[in-house]
Amino acid sequence: MILIDGNFGEGGGSIVRIALALSTITQQPFEVKGIRKGRKVPGLKAQHLYGIRALGELSGATSEGAALGSESLKFFPGRLQGRTISIDIGTAGSITLLLQSVLLPSLFANAKVRLKLTGGTDVQWSPSIDYFCNVLLPHIRNFCENIEVNVLQRGYFPRGGGKVEVKITPKFKIDGFPEFHEFLQHLLAQEKSIELSDQQNLLMIKGISHASKDLEQAKVAERQASAARASLGSLMVPVQIRSEYANALSTGSGITIWAIFSSRKDEIDTAHPMALGSDALGERGKRAEEIGRDAAKKLLHENEQKVVCDRHLADMLIPYLALFGGSLRTSEITNHTLTNIYVCEQFLGKRFNVDEQKKTINSVTS
């Protein structure tokens, strides 16, 4: 059994999420202690528990210590099976964080996987659903036959109620390999890898500004978009930010924007996407214009670093980099990123060379 320090590095919940995903793929059980030990409210949160439940349904996995607030967990993986599962977090627990546990294993199931998820789509301390769909997902598409994500309803804090359906058609099926090492070598031999180096030409900015229906009269979505658009004017490229309103259970708003770059030619390369992303959530007492400016300010800061992999995308791509190979340069190698590397290497051995001065991460393929 693999032993994992739940207080390593930034000591956050991603340690458990990534461990769950890699345990399921590698078929290695693990035990983690000190889960979120340094947090104000330590232990497992709802999205961890529902990630465990989802993997139980997908693979027959079992666990010990899977309770709200538990600071230790033992997880025993089962064999992946393609099927349809429905998970209702019951609160505004983050759907995108839940997907960090479930999506990666689903790529390697023996048949199609359909996930029907209910919870928070746009909540604090997690990627927005629009960031997931427009910044992270284009990279994941390279590693499966097809993946579709449909946002049926937004869910804001505190009631959640957001509904997202994810349909995955696997390309690489793990059950055809007697040993995980053979499967890993098969993945690394593919032409697809993650290659995110320096910027080429900035082509355009796109985005989605959204709010609950009760904020429509105040034009919150439009004001967020307008402020972001004005702040991004110095980039001298088209800025397309769509405004929309949702019939959500709780009042809320947010904006996600992403900068799209060319590869070697002055055109969008869908096979090797290059986009920086940022998002911001509405807050009670904070004007919509400030929210739009906050998102734009974060994007402008990332763009100034001359990279095409923002610091949040870097930490989310680490498990995919470990399995498919490649390299990236990011604006900042965060403690979150280094912690995710730690977890991956507990299951896979030495997988990365990190140069914190150059802010580069290269996979080890041998």
315 Ramachandran zone, left/alpha/beta (phi>0; psi -120 to 50)? alpha
DSSP letters spanning 179-239:
SHHHHHHHHHTSS--EEE-B---EEEEEEEEEEEGGGTTTTHHHHHHHHHHHHTGGG-S-E
Phi, psi of 38 (to 5 degrees): -85, 0
Active site residue 336: yes
Instruction: Report the C-alpha gap between 302 and 103 in whole angstroms.
Output: 27
SS3 content of the chain, % helix, strand, coil (to 5): 35, 25, 35
Q: Under 8 Å CB-to-CB from 364, ≥6 apart: which residues?
A: 350, 351, 352, 353
Three-state secondary structure call for residue 56:
helix
Residues 91, 120 contacting (CB under 8 angstroms): yes
Nearest one of 15, 344, 29 to 184, comparing CA atoms: 344
Catalytic residue among 48, 210, 312, 336: 336
From the CA atom positions of the chain, what is the Rg in Å? 20
Q: Give me 123's structure tokens.
A: 């909540």
Three-state secondary structure call for residue 27:
coil
Residues annotated catalytic, as ranges: 336
